[in-house]
Amino acid sequence: MVTGAKQLACELPATTGVPLSRWSCVELARELVGRGVVASISSATIWRIPTGDAIRPWFHRSWIALRDPDFAAKAGVVLALYGRVFDGEPLGDNDFVVCADEKTSIQARCRCHPTLPPGRARLMRVEHEYQRGGALAYLAAYDVHRAHVSGRCEPTTGIVPFGRLVEQVMTSPTHASAERVFWIVDNGSSHRGQASIDRLQGEWHNLRLIHLPVHASWLNQVGVAHNGMIFNVVTTENTGEVSPKNVDKSQHCCSVSTCRGDVTLRRTSRRPWLKRRSLDGVWHRQALDTVGV
């Protein structure tokens, strides 16, 4: 029985004719009973059998092949910037590193009744019913070493909306007077290829556009801003008590003051995960050799 349970746990459900993407303890127990391997067995027993040999079919790990032939070179530049180094020289005090990206398809939902604040022995109350206000895009620029986010909502993504984000950041006093501002972006259509470099660097004299390798958005620290925004701002999916017919989608998304304004992340409670990895020895230039790139 033990051998049969482990063998079944190491098979994909699709190969056995079971309409599942992955096994659970309950489904493994049901399949073993159905095959006549055992008369009855609990899900708790099933959990103990494969985990004893570190077999956990209810978990999975995603992977992607490196397709960019210049992956190591491009990733090395980005990781060095996270460590405040560019072209082998340390960055100056007036140099800044900004990660930028767009988060699409944020549902703008207008609650039918006002959200009530928490009180004594009472949680914050959010109306269940809502009216749809369409989908929005949140564009964020994350100043890596200052843990500062500049963001805005737009009806859609594209070259023009991204240009407005760049203008919002580059006209701020800090970045307007900077010696260099390195913008780290992926290869999305809003900022792809040499054309985007020529366009943005031609418009802003102190901007340097750095592209991530293809399929390497996970190296972009702006995910810190997006995750924090989703957790803290749109958890209740409340754009305010505004009729969808009258919603200006560029003005109303979740908390307008947060999404359109600037936010400084708390270093003590939300330490940037990639910054931690790059500076503490997991994600640095030498680490690329350990993954064979």
Q: What is the pLDDT of residue 128?
A: 81
- Over residues 64-91, the mean pLDDT reads 89
Residues 173-223: tens digit of each pLDDT: 999 999 999 999 999 999 999 999 999 999 999 999 999 998 888 888 887
- Over residues 61-77, the mean pLDDT reads 85
The domains of the chain, with CATH numbers, are 2-51 (no CATH), 71-291 (3.30.420.10)
Residue 16 has pLDDT above 50, yes or no: yes
For residue 39, what are its two tokens? 């008369």
Residues 112-139: tens digit of each pLDDT: 788 888 999 889 888 888 777 778 888 8
Residue 277 has pLDDT above 70, yes or no: no
Q: What is the pLDDT of residue 52?
A: 74
pTM, full prediction: 0.70
Task: Look at residues 111, 137, 138 and name the one whose alpha carbon lies nearest to residue 125.
Answer: 111
Residues 236-276: tens digit of each pLDDT: 455 544 333 333 433 333 333 334 445 444 433 334 434 44
Cβ atoms of 191 and 197 closer than 8 Å: no
Cβ atoms of 176 and 168 closer than 8 Å: no
